[in-house]
Amino acid sequence: MAATTAFKGAKSSRWRRFVLKPFVFVQFFFGIGLLAIALKQFRRKNTHPAQSPELIAKDWEILYYRIIPFRAISRAWGWLTNCHLPVWARRPLLGLYARTFNCNLEEAKDGNLDNYSCLAEFFRRKLKNGVRPIDSASAVVAPSDGTVLNFGRVTAGMMEQVKGVSYSLGEFLGPAYWRNGPEVQPAGQTELEYEKSLLVNKDNDLFHCVIYLAPGDYHCFHSPVDWTVNFRRHFPGALLSVNPSIAKWVAGLFSLNERAVYVGRWKHGFFSMTPVGATNVGSIRVYADEKLRTNCTKWALPLPYYDRYMDPTETDSDEIPLHKGEIFGEFNLGSTIVLIFEAPKDFEFKIRPGEKIRMGQPLHVTGSSVKHEAAAH
């Protein structure tokens, strides 16, 4: 008995020495590191004006931030939100969530909280017919409810994620070989050359728009234009938060995160729509692309990105024709939609940074040639 007890005690001692103590030390230094980053950022905000380059995270800070196991946390959150809720718990729990994030239950197709079996089902709630009218006169409408982070013309292959913080068009979309099949991107291609290579009509320009979906927003996203999708590129990426405060801090945030880039054509040429993943987004689902699997382990998806050609010549793969306002997919919590598209040079947006928008409302002013052509159709 004494020998057994001594053996167990020795085994326990080894466990503490080789596993528990190092784990505690890692947690301690990790916590100290995060606190140091937070204090450093607080000091920067007090000593530098808003939108100063000094407020953008340094490479080492981003690296440290990415050490946090956001992907595992998000998978755990996805599992938790799909757990079945007993009927007696639905109204208090879902009601608390609705009040906390200002969800408008009057717009829900089913406003009875007792009918939602889990939190994820409530996230994906559908709306009543007619509560999101699609502007028929506008060629480009909002693809979702949310807050406008930024928009504008793509300049020299760069886009603003928020004012003063830019990211690369080429890094976000990846190699532009979706029209002619796999090929090597020209060596030494500049950001501007990459941008121009996307244009179908060289007299047009590229425009972009970033919309942030908060946890309380309607979580489905719709087609903003009439177009045809013929290519999808899935970047497994990270799952960093896309909250506006993080978007101001981490340059190139959307290029780091998991995303599904859908590319195709609309009447003016190139068009792409990208749902971007984020912390605690259980998954991104696109109804017409059942092969898409998001929020997987790195071992399941080890490559930087995965391409799918949606062409009638491909086996078991067809183009996806989408009409303006048609439902496209859904998030399992708030995230971000990025639109990048070709349009005439006089295209002008009708929105403001920070503005709350609703799916179906027009995104551009009535004076542009895009508007005139939409009216003619």
Question: How far is 131 from 129, CA to CA, in rounded Å?
Answer: 6
Q: Is residue 184 part of a domain?
A: yes
Pairing of strands 320-322, 227-235: antiparallel
CA distances to 212, 245, 337, 359 from 219, in Å: 11, 20, 11, 10
Catalytic residue check, 335: yes
Q: Is residue 310 part of a domain?
A: yes
Tell me the angle at which helices 21-47 and 59-66 cross, rounded to the nearest 10 degrees.
140
Q: Which residue has the tokens 């993080």?
A: 246
Q: Is residue 241 part of a domain?
A: yes
Residue 1: predicted pLDDT: 52
- C-beta separation of 327 from 220 below 8 A: yes
Question: How far is 216 from 250, CA to CA, in rounded Å?
Answer: 24
Exactly one of 222, 234, 268, 364 is catalytic; name it.
Answer: 222
Q: What is the pTM of this model?
A: 0.82
Residue pLDDT tens, the chain, 377 long? 544 554 445 445 554 444 444 444 444 444 444 444 444 444 444 454 454 444 576 777 777 777 778 888 888 888 888 899 999 999 999 999 999 989 999 999 998 999 999 988 898 889 999 999 999 889 999 999 999 999 999 999 999 887 778 899 999 999 887 765 554 456 677 888 899 989 999 999 999 999 999 888 998 999 999 999 999 999 998 888 887 778 887 878 888 899 999 999 999 999 999 999 888 775 899 999 988 988 888 788 888 899 998 876 655 567 899 999 999 999 887 789 999 999 999 999 999 999 999 999 999 876 655 655 554 55
Residue 284 CB-half CA count within 13 A: 28
- Beta carbons within 10 angstroms of residue 368's beta carbon: 21
Catalytic residue check, 323: no
Q: Is residue 372 part of a domain?
A: no
Catalytic residue check, 110: no
Residue 370: name the closest of 351, 344, 350 by CA: 344
Q: Is residue 126 part of a domain?
A: no
Exactly one of 138, 145, 166, 289 is catalytic; name it.
Answer: 145
Exactly one of 223, 255, 335, 368 is catalytic; name it.
Answer: 335
Total number of domains constituting the chain: 1
Residue 264: name the closest of 285, 282, 286 by CA: 286
Q: What angle do CA 32, 36, 39 make, to 5 degrees?
A: 135
* φ, ψ (nearest 5 deg) of residue 25: -65, -45
For residue 321, the enclosing domain spans 141-366
Q: Is residue 233 part of a domain?
A: yes
Q: Is residue 207 part of a domain?
A: yes
Q: Is residue 16 part of a domain?
A: no
Rg of the chain on CA atoms, in Å: 23
